Structure 1
Amino acid sequence: MGEFVIKMPDVGEGVAEAELVEWHVKPGDPVREDMILAAVMTDKATVEIPSPVEGVVLWLGADVGDTVAVKAPLLRIQVAGDRGSEADVASSATSEPPAKVELAKEKPVEAKPAAPPPARPATETKVIQPEKIAERLAAREPAERPLASPAVRLRAQEAGVDLRQVIGKGPAGRITHEDLDQFIARGAQPVAVVAPGLARKTDIEEIKVTGLRRRIAEKMRLASSRIPHITYVEEVDVTDLEDLRGTMNAGRKPDQPKLTILPFLMRALVKTIGEQPGVNATFDDDAGVVTRYGAVHIGIATQTPSGLTVPVVRHAEARSIWDVAAELARLAEAARNGTAAREELSGSTITISSLGALGGIVTTPIINHPEVAIVGVNKIMTRPVWDGTQFIPRKIMNLSSSFDHRIVDGWDAAVFVQRIKALLETPALIFIEG
């Protein structure tokens, strides 16, 4: 028998390492050729690694959540024959997950005996058993009857002590008079009688932060720690905009997408950026350089089953409102089903954050580092508005926008938001060129 070593593949140009986000096998599992063994992630793109050989898994080289360097041994497989081999698994740079990967050329190495080291657990979570928590309380099941003599039970009942909270040091965990004395001496409080079916819960669960969730955490930590945010909130009357949106949707062609409020906001952003290009920028605070962009690449914060991603509508300045809506729908679907390419999830110059119907009244969005601005959309609510003679119902939406206060002054932030407000409240202006 021989041993086949699979190394971490090169998952993209300039990428020196990747995070292991999932194992599909464990030591002792049989594998066949082309069977998916693991999944790794870099830059929010996931790449699946298949087996180039048939055999049995001997050893896993990392835990889920570990960062593994390119070319480092990832796993070993026992194969038939008397010669082993060692190979890297090459991946294309497109990284459209799940990516299909090919085996690089094999080079023979000396056969090794199958002596795998102890397997690492592939689970992402671990549960701390109740008996291991502070003071090692005997967190027994509610229906479990602790071992104790009738005399000990009577004393516990008179003292108002729940014997399930007492650790027994006698044979088989039996609770003795001494155990009860020590428990009471520690200042134990009588346990209140609760209704049937109610019980205390003492279990604790620790969940390892891995994959996309870890990427999000790192991104948020970076943005929060390095960017001094200023958040500006303004009410926008979108009654006329909603009427226009309804009219346009009613008359749309079969090949045209349904319009939400986001395409209108994106077109308003494009017009406003033309007047205030300083918000369509990124800031390299290490180099002290602000980069302003002529192109408007709008990131749209999108919730997916795996977590928050930001697909990017590129060159929004060159797209009609229908084109923007179609591209927005395509990217959102790709992000949710995990097929978005790496270049579709990066390169934004300004971001929109929207929680849709759950948008609340006010939010404080965190800037997508290294950008300098983010526009947050809150839900639309019908509110009474005084028109000078009476209260009338109007559809009101708040915009909660954050800016990098090192680059954007409060005055400029207010002017920016007020211009967007004017365009959304008079939506015909969105379609007027110049």
Structure 2
Amino acid sequence: MERDSQKYEFIIDQVNANLQKLGGKIWYTGSNPDDVKAYISSLVEMQNEERSPDKRNIADLEVMYNNLSEQIKVYENNTADAKQFESGNKNRRKLLLKLQELVDENIDFDYLVQPLQNLLEDVDNTIFFSNYLINDNTIKELKKQREQIKTEIRRNDARFKIYNLEEKSKSIALIKEYLSLEVVSNDDIITEKKKRVKRIREELKALRNSDDLHKIDDLSNFVTKLYYSAKDISSVVSDDIQQNGFEIKYLKKGNILQPMIFSDDSEASRSQKRVNYYIGSMARHTLIQLCGYLAFLKMLLENNRYPIIPILVIDHVSKPFDAKNSKAIGKILSTAYETIGKENLQTFIFDDEDFEKLDIKPDYSENLFTDSKTGFNPFFFSSTEEDQTE
């Protein structure tokens, strides 16, 4: 459609350029081919009237064009300012609504409710006035007038040039050829389609920026499930799950795993309001972090959108645990493997403790602390091995 429209605009420009050479007053708009053909016929038959002098010269037209351009520029600046005011007022309205919600929850702040409502009404009125300014059609009329002046200036260009009979004959032939081509303008359809594309892009942008609440809930539920699985082994976990409504929520803003419980406040309990549950134990933080890594790996594997190597490497995970609670690590890992599948995820653990104390049943275990080495170095060869290699 855009290619056809470009051809259509090209034909209009070429027809008008050649009409100027003929010195006529007619102007091809795309919808008046019969008038142009009649004018050409009158020229061929030498029946055309003498061209009347233009009432306005180019200097006058240029002054009018510049004045209209200045008016449009001022109006567009005012419109841009109005849009900025509207955006700022919308943000103020959101803040005031949030503040009003906070005030409504506490009767001690009743004296602030009415002033807040008055402020909201003032902001709403300002937003309405901004919309009125932005939707004004004056700018469209000014641009329309400017385009008409521009067209008239272009028509006057040919007044100061002299064309011989041969050039005029070529112009007549070209005009007839261009008018014989069947090309239509799709400007209206293209404009509507572009508006639709813009709306779809805005919707896509909003969807990309929005939170997938279902996926976030699934992630939170799996983290909580893994944490709960160690309740019979770990006293740390057992103490936590006895809290009213204990769960671990994934918060996208800040990218954190936040334990939450129901509030003990009598008023809030009626609506089952959740509040943050703050834990100070490093063992708890480590277990929740382990649950989070496993949950994210599960999500990435299920989505299958990115090329990943499903490997989890853990270093000194047992450090913050006592002997009683360290087995929670193995229980969480085994519970995760029940869902993820052992063939879909490899876990490498480097730790000071033996795997039995962590309640882990590994497929392979190696003691990296020997007389000849005290750590993991994939490029290490003992002296005996070097001799054999030589």
Q: TM-score range by the shorter chain?
A: under 0.3
Query: Per residue, is there more helix in 1 or in 2?
Result: 2
Query: Per residue, is there more strand in 1 or in 2?
Result: 1
